[in-house]
Amino acid sequence: MPYARVNGVNLHYEIAGEGEPLLLIMGLGAPAAAWDPVFVEEMARTYQVITYDNRGTGRSDKPDEPYSIAMFARDAVGLLQALNLPRAHVFGVSMGGMIAQEMAIHYPQYVASLILGCTTPGGKHAVPAPPESLKALESRANLPPAEAIREGWKLSFSEEFIRTHRAELEAHLSRLLAHPTPRFAYERHFHATLTLRVYKQLKNITAPTLVVTGRDDVLIPAANSEILAREIPNAELVIFDHAGHGFVTSAREPFVRVLKAFLARHRL
């Protein structure tokens, strides 16, 4: 079982495929197992896909202390160092996209290209989530793990998608329940998202950047992706119709086409 000792914690990671390294950074309170397995398998046909559990999740250490986006970014860079990878394509979703922004700004030498999924620059320049979405996000911390995950589907997918893909979602549920995130760690993650303040530094990002999201995102409104694409020099923006926060799954085929085309244009 592969672990890397990074910044005083043990981070669990997995590698699939061969080729140029593609680091995937997961979002709020979620382990690497939350990545769509079909998406990972498809990308691993061409790339060396690296997934890992952020501190506080999965099989990584879970210190009960304040977390920050800057801390998570140091962890990600430390993992690349531990794997002897001087550069990688970096794709983060939601909170993972916040971490990826921090990496691209403060550790640009490690970021060959940047893919920001359903994320936000944070702070006063960001477009906030609707109050009901924030309430649902916070209330999940009080639910049993399986119920919390099912409630999370409502923030990521349309009712129709949940109904028509229920079997797929339920099959994925068992992977997530193997190592549930403790309540204290989820809360530490939530408070970490409030530490992001990078809007004024977005113009300093030099990595080729792709900004992607779903038009119907009720958790991090798509307007945030428009802000990121506007402020990051030469960034490309793709918004998928009929998809929300879980666009990696609900718009998997068109997203994989877009991502592979982008990465092919920006090889190491």
CATH number of the domain encompassing residue 94? 3.40.50.1820
Q: 44 pLDDT band (50/70/90 cuts)?
A: very high
The domain in which residue 173 lies consists of 3-265
Q: Where is 187: in which H helix or E strand?
A: helix 183-193
Q: How many beta carbons lie within 10 A of that of residue 141, not counting itself?
A: 17
* Total tally of structural domains belonging to the chain: 1
Question: Encoding tokens for residue 147?
Answer: 């119920």
Encode pLDDT of 95-133 as tens digits.
999 999 999 999 999 999 999 999 999 999 999 988 888
Phi, psi angle pair for 148, to nearest 5°: -65, -40
pLDDT tens track for 180-226? 999 899 999 999 999 998 999 999 999 999 999 999 999 999 999 99
Residue 231, φ and ψ in degrees, nearest 5: -90, -30
User: Taking CA 101 as the corner, what is the angle to CA 97 and CA 103, rounded to the nearest 5 degrees?
Assistant: 115
Mean pLDDT of the chain: 95
